[in-house]
Amino acid sequence: MARALAHVWRKPVAEHTREAFKSAEQWRLAQGGRGLILDACCGVGMSTRKLAERFPEHSVIGVDRSADRLSREHGPLPDNALLVRADLVDFWRLALEADWRPERHYLLYPNPYPKSMQLKMRWQGHPVFPAIVGLGGRLEVRSNWRIYIEEFAIAIAQATGTSAPLGPFDPDDDPLTHFERKYHDSGQPLWHLVVNLDHRPGLLPRSEL
């Protein structure tokens, strides 16, 4: 995880994500100054819709790289919600470059890449991690894999010096995602961390874009 913080990642931003971000930025500005909620890895968009319903005074942007997932049934979107097809690795960097400051930032049940050799594919070990935490705001990560949450908390502490409390999580009767519903209904324990982070654009050098 420390390697993700020690090396600047200079992979060029894909043009399709740059265009998607430009459209998302125009939509965000048209929302009239509402607080921003970012729903990363939103899948079919169920969580984006539910978050927009729970926080009607906010603008909610859900991002996923899969056109297939985003095309599936997710229910009608409220006017304060937008789904974007983009590569999050690039989208996060562009958001930090554009000085986005989400009030809430969700990472719900990301792929845990459970094999030890796959650490660099987990977000906490990926070179884009400084952009994730650099955006700031109330970051919430949920998973059915406890070690994923534990690693994420360690990475946050290494990057920012901030302690990220973690513990078991119960979605009650209103899960945000299909995965959350499936895991909960099958009796699997769920875990999450919630941490308030400062906006830290300096964690990712602006010159790399």
How far apart are the C-alpha atoms of 100 and 29, rounded to whole Å? Answer: 11
The β-bridge partners of 38 are: 61, 105
What DSSP character marks residue 143? E
- The pLDDT tens digits for 92-119 are 999 999 999 999 999 999 998 888 888 8
* 24, part of any domain: no
| Number of structural domains in the chain | 1
Q: Provide the pLDDT for residue 1.
A: 52
Q: Which range marks the domain in which residue 60 is found?
A: 33-200
How far apart are the C-alpha atoms of 48 and 64, rounded to whole Å? Answer: 11
Q: How confident is the model at residue 202 (pLDDT cuts 50, 70, 90)?
A: confident
pTM for the whole structure: 0.91
How far apart are the C-alpha atoms of 110 and 91, rounded to whole Å? Answer: 16
* 3, part of any domain: no
Residue 89 is inside which H or E element, if any? helix 88-97
| 133's tokens | 């935490």
Lowest model confidence (mean pLDDT) among 17-21, 101-105, 119-123, 126-130: 119-123
* 190, part of any domain: yes
* 62, part of any domain: yes
Amino acid at 122: R
Phi, psi of 95 (to 5 degrees): -65, -40
Q: Provide the pLDDT for residue 53.
A: 96
* 187, part of any domain: yes
* 104, part of any domain: yes
* 147, part of any domain: yes
- Arithmetic mean of pLDDT over the chain: 91
* 8, part of any domain: no
